[in-house]
Amino acid sequence: MSSLVSAFDPRSNSLNAIRLALALLVVVSHSWALGGAGPEPELGGANLGTWAVFGFFGISGYLITRSRLSRHSVRQFYRARFLRLVPGFLVCLLAVAFVFAPLSLLLDPAGSFSFLDQLGYVLRNALLYPPFLGQYDVGSTLFGVPFPDVWNGPLWTLFWEASCYVLVGVAASLLPRRILGPLMIATVLLASVATFAAEQTPAVPLLVTRTLPMFAAFAGGAVLFLYDEKFIRRWAVPGAAALVLLSVLTQTATTLAPLPFTYLLFVLSAILPLRSVGSRFDISYGVYIYGWPVQQLVALMAGDSLPVWLFVGLSVAGTLPLAFLSCRFVEQPALAFKNGRVPAAAVAAGR
């Protein structure tokens, strides 16, 4: 009869392992399109990468809502969120513009770029890949690959994740908790209904149909936190599993799956014996932001001649070291300042 709040220990769980698995699932899913193997595998009308994004946004919805309601300082909340996303993101932009793009010319000498192309890529994307402003290419450095002109496709989701952070932060500042819960429930329902309606209307922009389920997933995670004592595992687990299965059978994953899928991930995080994975170095964010550019280099080297399993293997092998470097030398040092104080280690070193 244990509820989610009694089963899930925020200080000891397997969420880092699950997020790493989701990030790797994104790399696997993209391997079909980037490696020229055809459309990405789908389940319930959503590709595997979309399922992973559901998981990311749902987990964030729970953790970010918990963080906002548990922190006494609004400034501290926003500082921590900024430091979690932005430093690693900006370094990744610089790496793509000034390392990956020049390297690509060694593999495809027909490509070209200018310093203005590189600078434009960094500056136009600096606000977390904003819609209608972001720049996907760096000159003509990705002309001869199966998925041309896009150096880092997954980054577009970070703008919407940050938007969710801000919306929850503002809502928690303006509304009492008893109102915040119903608001998140309404957001899940409205976003889900709007997703279903938008997918039936070809005229609706793709950006809308791709973004609405992410809001539903994030709000669903918030609902899980705000009502966590209501989610009794004895009935919620089979109910969530049944909804996910129904979404798969009816090809309505983007409408029905975000909330129950998130719940099942939290249940797994409470019972899987993987608490040590990512406890020291959480590389899931690095895998997410570096996977695509690594895959584009693999595509430049091999074109569409590799079997997809080998493309996946090379992509993962090239991404993991970069993800570790990002975690160790960018993300962790940045997060050391999340409380607004210079870390003691930095003081001792005279910095």
Cα–Cα distance between 296 and 31 in angstroms, integer?
Answer: 10
Answer yes or no: are the C-beta atoms of 93 and 135 closer than 8 Å: no
Percent of the chain having pLDDT more than 90?
Answer: 80
pLDDT of residue 280 exceeding 50, the answer is yes
Mean pLDDT (whole number) for 100-120: 94
Task: Give pLDDT, residue 292.
Answer: 98
Quickly list H helices, 108-205: 115-125, 156-174, 177-199
Residue 347 has pLDDT above 50, yes or no: no
pLDDT at 281 over 80: yes
DSSP one-letter code for 99: I
With 50 as the cut, is the pLDDT of residue 238 above it? yes
CA pair distance 217, 29, nearest whole angstrom: 20
Residue range 287-341, pLDDT digits in tens: 999 999 999 999 999 877 899 999 999 999 999 999 999 999 999 999 999 877 6
3-state helix, strand, coil in the chain (%, to 5): 70, 0, 25
Question: Where in the chain are the domains?
Answer: 4-348
**How high is the mean pLDDT of the chain?**
92
Average pLDDT of span 151-172: 95
C-beta of residue 146 within 8 angstroms of C-beta of residue 36: yes
Residue type, 35: G
For tokens 């690693």, the residue is 88
Contact residues for 206 (Cβ-Cβ < 8 A; gap 6+): none
Q: Is residue 307 classed as helix, strand or coil in its secondary structure? A: coil
pLDDT confidence band for 346 (50 / 70 / 90): very low
Q: Given pLDDT bands bounded at 50, 70 and 90, which one contains residue 190?
A: very high
- What are the residues facing 9 on neighbouring strands? 12
How many other C-beta atoms lie within 10 A of the C-beta of residue 351?
Answer: 8
CA distance 51 to 58: 11
Provide the 8-state DSSP code for 201.
-
pLDDT of amino acid 161: 97
**Between helices 308-326 and 15-34, what is the axis angle to 10°?**
130
Q: What is the pLDDT of residues 13-26, one digit of tens each?
A: 999 999 999 999 99
Cα torsion through 268, 274, 280, 281, rounded to 10: -70
Q: What confidence score (pLDDT) does residue 151 get? A: 97
Please state the pTM of the whole predicted model. Answer: 0.93
Asked whether the predicted pLDDT for residue 349 surpasses 90, the reply is no
In three-state secondary structure terms, 339 is coil
Q: Is 232 helix (H, G, I), strand (E, B) or coil?
A: strand
pLDDT at 103 over 90: yes
Helical packing angle, 48-70 and 156-174, nearest 10°: 30
* For residue 39, pLDDT beyond 70: yes
Q: How many CB atoms lie within 10 A of CB 233?
A: 18
Sign of the CA dihedral running 199, 165, 19, 297: positive
Helices 74-95 and 284-302: crossing angle, nearest 10°? Answer: 20
